[in-house]
């Protein structure tokens, strides 16, 4: 099949737009969450593509912002930091918002950080956010996803 110049130009434009989109941070709708008296503005990553991109390519994130990863099924969940520029802490959350475990993750590393039991939720915040607020396994995160 022979491509016309117009088809080649359109393909090049589409390809460059796709590459640009993958190198730019995604911005997703957010919801309010709470960790005791602390407010969180969490973007919600609920599709496979949104979860794969996560917080990649961001150079900064406000202190009270984070990203909530939502999965359809409970399973052991593992995260890594390829193309993620910020040091993050991740809390793996039970269906009721109880913190199962928390891990600190270093930027641009491929080390896996996994939940200690099957979960449907994971919340990423700036590294140290949970520790500075005394949030640890057994603490509760509240908000719409965790209501029965």
How many domains, the chain?
1
Per the domain annotation, does 61 fall within a domain?
yes
Looking at every residue in the chain, the average pLDDT score rounds to: 88
Q: Any idea which of 12-26, 60-74, 129-143 has the lowest mean pLDDT?
A: 12-26
Residue predicted with more confidence, 145 or 13: 145
Q: Sorting pLDDT into bands at 50, 70 and 90, what band is 22?
A: low
Distance CA 22, CA 112 (A): 22
Per the domain annotation, does 108 fall within a domain?
yes
Per the domain annotation, does 141 fall within a domain?
yes
In the prediction, which pLDDT does 148 show?
Answer: 63
Domain that holds residue 77: 27-146
Query: Does 16 score more than 90 pLDDT?
Result: no
The beta-strand segments (E) located in 36-145 are 38-45, 65-75, 78-79, 88-93, 99-105, 113-114, 119-126, 142-143
Q: Quick one: which H or E segment has residue 12?
A: helix 5-23
pLDDT in tens, 28-50: 999 999 999 999 999 999 999 99
Per the domain annotation, does 48 fall within a domain?
yes
Query: Does 10 score more than 60 pLDDT?
Result: no
Residue predicted with more confidence, 91 or 82: 91
CB 25 within 8 A of CB 56: yes
Per the domain annotation, does 11 fall within a domain?
no
Per the domain annotation, does 14 fall within a domain?
no
The neighbour count for residue 25, using CB atoms within 10 Å, is 14
CATH number at residue 50: 2.60.120.1140
In the prediction, which pLDDT does 1 show?
Answer: 37
Per the domain annotation, does 95 fall within a domain?
yes
Per the domain annotation, does 53 fall within a domain?
yes
Query: Who's near 24: CB < 8 A, 6+ residues apart?
Result: 57
């Amino acid at each position: 099949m022979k491509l016309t110049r117009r088809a080649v130009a359109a393909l090049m434009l589409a390809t460059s737009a796709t590459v640009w989109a993958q190198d730019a941070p995604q911005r997703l709708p957010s919801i309010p969450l709470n960790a005791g008296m602390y407010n969180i503005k969490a973007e919600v990553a609920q599709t496979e593509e949104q979860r794969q991109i996560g917080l990649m390519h961001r150079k900064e994130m406000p202190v009270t912002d984070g990203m909530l990863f939502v999965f359809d099924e409970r399973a052991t969940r593992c995260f890594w930091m390829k193309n993620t520029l910020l040091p993050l802490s991740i809390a793996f959350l039970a269906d009721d918002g109880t913190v199962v475990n928390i891990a600190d993750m270093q930027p641009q590393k491929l080390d896996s950080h996994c939940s200690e039991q099957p979960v449907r939720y994971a919340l990423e915040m700036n590294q140290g956010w949970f520790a500075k607020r005394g949030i640890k396994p057994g603490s509760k995160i509240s908000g719409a996803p965790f209501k029965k």
